[in-house]
Amino acid sequence: MSQLALPLQLADHAVFASFLPTGNETAVAVLRELAAGGGDSGCWLWGSPSTGKTHLLQAVCEQAGDQSAFVPLGLFRDANPAILEGLASRRLVCLDDIDAVAGEAAWEHALFVLYNQVVEARGRIIAAAQVAPRSSGFNLADLKSRMTALPAFQLRSLDDDATRRALQLRAGHRGLDLPDETAQFLLSRSRRDMASLYGLLDRLDDEALRAQRRLTIPFVKGVLDITS
């Protein structure tokens, strides 16, 4: 996996196999095609936090391997936009949290240059934001027009049943068995956003490994210090 010369690392769980596509089947299909070398110039993903944007961008990069670059712009907003130089040599450039640098003239110019270079090299740009392209807040009209021309897909939040299945899929990817009743118990005792649930599952995984226990409701109650 190609990255910038910065301490970036893809999350080991962020692969297509661990993402439940319910409600977002079209977007996932397009991303799989792009990761495999097909598709057009790229796409724009948008949606509220914890809908899986970062997961999917990293899944694309995991599948595309060394021909890709994952760039979390939310982390790099205070960095020099020159870090984008040379990325056009990658077949796929995934720009996470692109709206974090909207309105920053130097960043917008660097992104405009990068977009043109990638397209000229017959590469692909995949961008992710919390808003649709037209609401991105870009001041550079040429950059906004190019991003707006990309196919845009809004990622939908999961309902309770799909959230349970997504949690079990993540557990299975980690080699854990998460029974229905335990998964439902976690949903009733935790915030429902996937980031919080995945963080809780990571904690339970560590504790279960240490104690050599299964993820039963009594074990989860003990780890979370729940008395009722």
Strand order in the sheet with 124-129: 68-72, 92-96, 124-129, 42-46, 152-154
Q: What are phi and psi of 24, to 5 degrees?
A: -130, 30
Give the fold, CATH level 3, of 16-154: Rossmann fold (3.40.50)
2-16, 55-69, 131-145 — which is least confidently predicted?
2-16
Residue with tokens 């021309």: 149
- Give me the pLDDT at residue 3, please: 41
Position 196 confidence tier, pLDDT thresholds 50, 70, 90: confident
Position 2 confidence tier, pLDDT thresholds 50, 70, 90: very low
Sign of CA dihedral 57, 33, 45, 197: negative
Write down the H helix ranges in 121-179.
Answer: 141-149, 160-173
Measured from the Cβ of residue 99, the count of other Cβ atoms closer than 10 Å reads 20
Looking at per-residue pLDDT, the higher value among 146 and 173 belongs to: 146
% residues pLDDT > 70 (the chain): 93
Give the fold, CATH level 3, of 160-224: Helicase, Ruva Protein; domain 3 (1.10.8)
Of residues 27, 49, 31, the one with CA closest to residue 39: 31
9, pLDDT greater than 80: no
Digit-coded pLDDT (tens) for 19-54: 999 999 999 999 999 999 998 889 999 999 989 999
Contact 22, 84 (CB under 8 A): no
- Give me the pLDDT at residue 226, please: 67
- Report the chain's mean pLDDT, rounded to a whole number: 90
149, pLDDT greater than 80: yes
Looking at per-residue pLDDT, the higher value among 138 and 14 belongs to: 138
Contact 102, 108 (CB under 8 A): yes
- Give me the pLDDT at residue 224, please: 82
- Give me the pLDDT at residue 5, please: 47
Contact 39, 122 (CB under 8 A): no
List the domain boundaries for the chain: 16-154, 160-224
